[in-house]
Chains A and B, each alone.
Chain A
Amino acid sequence: MAITTAQSPFRTDPLTGLRIDLTAQALVKVNAVLAVVFLLVGGTAGLLVALTRWPAVHLLPADLFYMALTAHGIVALMVWIIFFEIAVLYFVASTLLSCRLAAPKLAWTQVVLMVVGAAMTFVAILQGDSSVMMTSYVPMNAAPHFYLGLILFAVGALIGCGVFWGTLVIAAEEKTYEGTLPLTVYGCVIATIIAVFTIASGAIILIPTFLWSLGLIKSIDPMMYRVIWWAFGHSSQQINVTAHITIWYTVAGLAFGAKPMSEKVSRTAFLLYICFLQFGSVHHLLSDPGLSSAWKIFNTSYMMYLAVLASLIHGLTVPGSIEVAQRRSGLNNGLFEWLRKCPWGNPVFSSTILSIIIFGFIGGVTGVVMSVEQVNMIIHNTIYVPGHFHGTVAGGTTLAFMGLTYYLIPVLFQRQVIMKPLAALQPWLFGIGTSIFAIAIMGAGTLGVPRRHWDVTFAGQALGFEWPGMAQMMLAIGEIGGVIAVLGGALFCVIVVGSILIGEPVPANAKNIVAPPADAGGHKEIGMGGFEAPGTFILAMVLFVTLVLYYFVNFKYLATLWTLT
């Protein structure tokens, strides 16, 4: 049934009961579809990289390898993710608050700017004289339109954040919701605040670099570039963390009727992100000259690890809220009945739970350890680093976004997901492939294999040497995992595009997929020994022990090295 207001037409989604602004719906669709298109482009570049770094295949020549690697970094790490995040922002602000989207014309400007910017940078890369990697460290130089494209893209993203905030203002003024902002919206507010900091840092360094590439500025200090660039480069990953954790909470609510265990705890943890997450940019500068240890320690620890504490809290409270909801609905036996009887074949759920596990155990544990000032010396710029951030960004963020996409296809496009058995398989294919990739190349990195390197066999080099057989095997296993992950990603793109184009319409009498109130079953006394979520607590302790052991293993290894003072 469609409802029309004075400002903008709405429809009420029969499936979820959500009141959807049609303008917002169009913009969410466009941003999400563009995101998936760029995921396909970024994934293809990733496949070429994986097939080249797999020593037995070694597909591309050096120049094309470095070009593909630059494209993969920028498209997969920035373009796909930010387009999807803008879609999430518009959806959350308008649909969850039953509000019209602010300034639709500006929102369309966002789309145009981001498309033009991404295309401009991508073309610069394909032209061949901008294979400078995503980081584009000066004084290495790219073509001017490489930087200009990134600047336009960032301006578009900034406009997106403005539209989101404008929508919140309208929702508050028109009283489209009551009381406090929902946790999901609150998480998005945190993400956009971090985004503004990120984009400002990017502007501060990329605009002078663009002018330098035109010859208008004589030189850019390499240290200044790295310090400010990482305030942009790493912070953009902090937006992703905030966004995908927000999505975990949202999906837990949508798929299980889970309520946050404690709003107070979850909101405080998000607040810690605002205060401390940005310091993490210094992780990339730990092995750089000219910066003092005191400065490095303060920043790399996110001011006494308070942002790490926040992530550890979310890591417990999201699965904890699912456990509480499952137990309240009757699955209250033993430690793990609630977990066994989760809908493992539902891609919305499996994507989310795999995202939580991979982000925690692979991305999180390694991230905390490698960002220790001293341990970084045995990890910096080895292939361990991409291993780590594929655990966070591919296994964590991308997988979480995939899960939300499966949820949104029937809501926004009013189509059913096609090829259901393959859709059930897809998150596992992508998640397991990514995990194999990340773990194996971190193994190779621990043995010293460098990142961003075309030929680790050093063929024909007088000073060449041979890596341990284990390192070469790890590289091969890792890249096979990478190929599996790309297949999983490609399957995702096929399913999404296929569902939109040829998916069957959602039947009129379809079940409301927002779960009924969780405590309707009357199971008030849940859990064990006074703990409402004992199973989650045990799992969290497994993570904790893994982290502690891995931390000390690295120090033990570090202690065997040459003395360095």
Chain B
Amino acid sequence: MGYSFTAPAKNWATEPIERTEILWIVIAGSWCLFMFCWMIAWHWIGNQNMANEAYKTTPEAYAKKVEEFTAKYTVRQDKSDPSLPVVAPPPGSDVYLAASRWQWRPIVEFQKGKSYRVHISSLDWDHGFSLQPENINFTAYPGYDAVVTMTPNKTGTFGIVCNEYCGIGHHTMLGRIYVKE
């Protein structure tokens, strides 16, 4: 009687709880409460938070925005891949990045310390936006235009890797962001 696999003792509901368990519940419970408050607090005390801004769109409408954005701010063709335009939007502006099989378009150039409203969406399947080596990761859906305001704090060349599986060419799907002084 009283094993885990047999019926418990008749007084199981009123038996006193042993000291080891009580102390552990208090410690573990306090930490759980702390983690909950900290996650909320980081929205005020931290500088890295998920934006809550997103809009319904369609792949066609979004593709059009990306096209207009690219046409407006293209400064050169990229050295690594001359077929890709490099777009340098002014600080504070809306930036449109499109994921499709199997590319992130266009390549953009930011200035360090300046903020940009970066729109992320997909034109076909689900894709991943994984900025490396910063290691910032978001998901892109078709039909949803998500906006996150980014302020680069380092200069350099940053790769965008697709980290949401999107078919046979998934591992060839890349993009790029340049950040200059």
Contacts and interface: CB of A to CB of B under 8 A. Distances in A.
Interface of A: 62-63, 66, 96, 131, 133, 137, 139-140, 177-184, 221-223, 226, 249-250, 252-254, 257-265, 286-290, 292-293, 296-297, 300-301, 304-306, 308-309, 312-313, 316-317, 320-321, 368, 372-374, 376-382, 446-448, 450-456, 458, 461-465, 467-468, 527, 530-534, 536-537, 540-541, 544, 547-548, 551, 555, 558-559, 561-565
B165 A452 contact: yes
29 contacts: A62-B168, A131-B168, A140-B166, A177-B7, A182-B6, A249-B4, A250-B4, A258-B3, A258-B4, A259-B3, A264-B15, A286-B50, A287-B137, A288-B139, A289-B121, A304-B32, A305-B36, A380-B163, A381-B137, A381-B163, A452-B163, A452-B170, A458-B171, A463-B84, A540-B24, A544-B31, A547-B31, A563-B47, A564-B151
Interface in B113-128: 115, 120-121, 124-126, 128
B12 A561 contact: no
Q: Which of A250, A308, A448, A564 has the most CB of B within 10 A?
A: A564
A561 B42 CA distance: 14
Contacts of B126: 137, 140, 222, 226
Given A454-B170, A540-B24, A304 B33 contact: yes
B153 A261 contact: no
B80 A559 contact: no
Contacts of B164: 137, 381
Contact of B4 (A259, A286, A301, A548): A259
B174 interface: yes
A6 to B, nearest CB: 24
Interface in B11-45: 12-13, 15, 17-21, 23-25, 27-29, 31-33, 35-36, 39-40, 42-43
A527 B20 CA distance: 10
Contacts of B146: 289-290
A447 B40 contact: no
Given A253-B5, A305-B36, A313-B28, 5 more contacts: A62-B171, A182-B6, A182-B8, A308-B32, A372-B39
Interface residues of B, number: 90
Given A183-B8, A261-B20, A562-B153, A380 B139 contact: yes
Contacts of B46: 374, 555, 558-559
A257 B125 CA distance: 54
B148 interface: yes
Interface of B: 2-10, 12-13, 15, 17-21, 23-25, 27-29, 31-33, 35-36, 39-40, 42-43, 46-52, 54, 80-81, 84, 115, 120-121, 124-126, 128, 130-146, 148-154, 157, 159, 161-168, 170-172, 174-176
Nearest to B33: A304
A73 B172 CA distance: 22
A540 B9 CA distance: 27
A140 B101 CA distance: 11
Contact of B10 (A179, A252, A286, A452): A179
Contacts of B170: 66, 452-454
A265 B48 contact: no
A207 to B, nearest CB: 21
B133 to A, nearest CB: 6
A562 B152 CA distance: 5
Nearest to B12: A263
A97 to B, nearest CB: 9
A463 B20 contact: no
A556 to B, nearest CB: 11
Contacts of A562: 48, 131, 134, 136, 150-154
Nearest to B121: A289
Given A260-B4, A558-B46, A222 B25 contact: no
A181 B35 contact: no
Nearest to B80: A462
Given A374-B42, A381-B137, A182 B33 contact: no
B121 to A, nearest CB: 8
Contacts of A316: 20-21, 24
Given A140-B126, A463-B175, A96 B5 contact: yes
Contacts of A530: 19
A287 B159 CA distance: 18
B144 A563 contact: no
Q: Which of A306, A465, A531, A534 has the most CB of B within 10 A?
A: A465
A317 B18 CA distance: 10
Contacts of B32: 304-306, 308-309, 312
A290 B144 contact: yes
B134 to A, nearest CB: 6
What are the nearest 5 A-B pairs in CB distance? Answer: A289-B146, A305-B32, A450-B163, A462-B81, A563-B151
B135 A447 contact: yes
Nearest to B147: A289
Contacts of B152: 562
B124 A292 contact: no
Contacts of B174: 458, 461, 463-464
B42 to A, nearest CB: 5
Nearest to B9: A263
B51 A565 contact: yes
A448 B133 contact: yes
Contacts of A313: 21, 24-25, 28
A444 to B, nearest CB: 11
B7 A261 contact: no
A181 B4 CA distance: 10
Contact of B136 (A133, A378, A464): A378
Contact of B49 (A180, A260, A368, A565): A565
